[in-house]
A and B are shown apart, each in its own frame.
Chain A
Amino acid sequence: MLDIVIKNGRIVDGSGMPGFVGDIAIKAGRIVQIGRVDAAAERVIDAEGKIVSPGFIDPHTHFDAQLLWDGYAKPSIEHGVTTIVPGNCSLSLAPLRAEHRMKLVGMFNQIEEMPIIAFEKGVVWNWETFDEFLQRIQSDLSINVAPLVGHSALRLWVMGAAADQRAATAAECEQMQDLLRSCLEAGAVGMSTSFVDFDEKMQPVPCRYASTEELDALCATLGEFGRIVQIVHEFYDTDLTIARIDQLAELSLKHGIPTTLSPLFVNAGDFDGVDRIMARIDHQFERGARVWLQVQTRPVDISFCLEVPSLLFIRLPSWYGIIRFGSREDVIAALSDADTRAQLIAEAASMASVWARLRLRQVSTEANQALVGKTLEEIAELRGSTPIDVMIDLSLEEDLQAHFLAADMGHNDVAKVGELLAHPHVHIGASDGGAHILSFSTFGDTGHLFRQFVRDSGALTLEQAVKKITQDTALIWGIPERGLLQTGYVADITIFDAGTIDRGPEYFKQDVPGDGYRYVRDAVGIDTVIIGGAVSYQQDSGYTPAKEGAVLPGPVQAL
C-alpha cells in the first residue's frame, strides 16, 4: 500500500524539461514511482489541471529565532516553500555562549529589524553549541532547514569581546576553523559573512574585523566539506560589488567551494552597473569559479510607523537616532516640540519626493479612516499642509500607530529584473524571510515570480522558473535528494495552479511572541504542500500537524 498518490497533475520536475501529465507515488517519505500509478494508496490527491513540482527552496532567510517558536516558519510553507536557509549575513543563533546572547539579539534587532520583545517572549535559551541548537529546533520541524553558521557568531565564541575590535591571531583562526568544522559535521550547510552590516551600537559587526587570511582559512575548512559561503556585499556600489565577486571567485577556485552574494538590486538609471556586474560574474564562471549572484523577485516596498525604527530613515541621523534609541515617549516629545520638529523637517528635506509618494495604509482612529489609501501629497492638499508635516501630524494623532507605505522604491523595472532572473548565473533568492517584519512582507516571492515573470512578462517559462527555485538551488547549496521529482528522492512537493499562483496583498498580522505584529502576505494558487512525504499544508484545510522537516544536509556521515 502506497502512502500517497498524486494523480493526473502536470509534472514539472525541476530539471527544466517540458512538463508532462502523470502520477507520482510516495511511500515512506520518498518518491517511489512517476508515470501511471494504479496501485492502492492511503491517500489520493487529485491534481488534474494543476502543476506538480518539487518544493521550493528559499536560500536567504533569517528564521533562526522564529524556528524556536514556530517549526513551520509560517507562512513559508503555504507559499510552496519546503526548505529554508537561515543564518545568512554572518548572523546565526549558534554557536552562542550564554554571555553573548544579548549581543546577537541586538544585532538581529538592528540589522534584521526583529523586535527584542519577540526574543524575550518567544525564546527559551537552552543551547550553546550548533549541535544543541539543531537538536532544539529539530524536535518541532515541519519545514526543512539548511542552516548557515554565522561568521560573527564564530568570532564571538572564540574571541569574546575582542571579536569586534581586531583581526584574529593565527591561533584564534585555528580555533574558529575547528569550531566551524564541528558545525559542519553537525549539519550546517555552510557559513555566512558580511561586509556591510552594523551592530546595535552602529559599529561594524564582528566579521568585518576579519582579515582576508581569516576568511581564507575558514573557506579552507568549508572546502573540506565542499560547502558554500554566503556574503552580503556592498550592494549599493558597482565597483565594490565587482571587487567582492573577484574575491569570492578566488576563494571558490582555491578551495573548491560554491559561493553566493546577495542581494543585487536593479536601480533605475543604473542598468550599466548591473550589466558590468553580470559581465564580471560571467567572466568568473568562464574561469571555473562558482559565484552565484542572488536576485529577489519582488520590488522594494517599505512600510513603517514611527513607533519602531525603519531602515528608510537610516540616512537621516536625527530621525533614526530618536526612533532607534529613544523611547516611545521620546519620539512623541520630539515630534511635539516645535524646534525639534523644525530640525527634523529640515533634515528630511532631501527625501521630499519620498514623503510625497508615501501612502497612508493603516490608522486606529475613526477620524482618519477616510484618509487611508491616499498619498501624503493628497492628504497635504486636503489639509493645506506639506507631506512631511502630514506624516508627523498623523503619527501624533494616531499615537504613533499611523502606518505608511513607500511602494515601488526600486528593483521595479520588470523587463530588466526579468532579464536578470532568467540569467543562467543568477540565483533567485534574497527574500530575507522572517526578517524586517515591521518594514515589509518577506513572503510570497515565489508566487510573485510566477505571476509577474512567467504569466505576465514571459521572462521565464514555467519550467525555467520552477528549475530556478528547486533543482538549481539544491545543486548550488549542496542540498541532497531535493529539488527534483525523481524516483528515490525525498518527497518534497508543491502542487499549484499555474493560472492563479501569486502573492496576496500585504497586511499587518498579530502573531509574533509578545503580542507583536508583522507584515505578511497570504499565498494564492498553492493547492498542497508535501514535506518529507507528509502533507503539511492544503489550501482548503490549512496546516497539518506533520513534523517531517529535516536539517539539511544533516550530520556528516563517516566514510
Chain B
Amino acid sequence: MSSIPRKSLFPSAGDSWEIIAERELGGGGEEAVGQLQSWNLHVFMRPPAAPGSPHEHNPILPSDVIFLEPPQAA
C-alpha cells in the first residue's frame, strides 16, 4: 500500500490564496487560485470568519495544511 503523501505546505505569515498560487504554482491568476481552492475545500468551505476578524477575507489559518496538487487517483 502506497503511503506517498500529497504535496502540501503550511502557510507562512500573510499567505493568501493568491500569494500561495503565485509562489507555488508558477504564477497566480484566477485559474491557479481556483485550482488551489478546489484542492483545499477543507479551508475554502470553512464557515466565514466574524466581521472585523483578521480572517474575514482570508480563511487560511497558520495551522492549516494547504495541498499543492489534486488527490491521487483511486
Query: What is the interface of chain A, defined by CB distance below 8 A to chain B?
Result: 165-167, 195, 198, 201-204, 207-212, 214-215, 234, 237, 239-240, 242-244, 246-247, 272, 275-276, 278-280, 282-283
Contact = CB atoms under 8 A, between A and B. Distances in A.
Interface residues of B, number: 24
Contact of B74 (A202, A243, A244, A272): A272
Given A166-B54, A215-B63, A203 B6 contact: no
Lowest 9 CB-CB distances: which A-B pairs, in order?
A: A279-B3, A280-B3, A211-B62, A279-B1, A243-B65, A275-B1, A212-B10, A167-B62, A239-B6
B74 to A, nearest CB: 7
Contacts of A275: 1
Given A239-B71, A240-B42, A242-B3, A208 B61 contact: yes
SS class, residues of chain B in contact with chain A: loop
Contacts of A210: 62-63
Interface of B: 1-3, 5-6, 8, 10, 13, 42, 46-47, 49-50, 53-55, 61-65, 67, 71, 74
Contact of A167 (B13, B47, B53, B67): B13
Contacts, number: 70
Contact of A165 (B6, B8, B53, B63): B53
A389 to B, nearest CB: 29
24 contacts: A166-B54, A167-B13, A167-B62, A201-B50, A203-B50, A209-B61, A209-B62, A210-B63, A211-B62, A212-B62, A234-B65, A239-B6, A239-B71, A240-B42, A240-B65, A243-B65, A247-B65, A272-B1, A275-B1, A276-B1, A276-B2, A280-B5, A282-B3, A283-B3
A533 B55 CA distance: 53
A272 B74 CA distance: 9
A165 B62 contact: no
A357 B74 CA distance: 30
A244 B61 CA distance: 15
Contact of B54 (A165, A214, A234, A280): A165
A276 B50 contact: no
A278 B10 CA distance: 23
Nearest to A282: B3
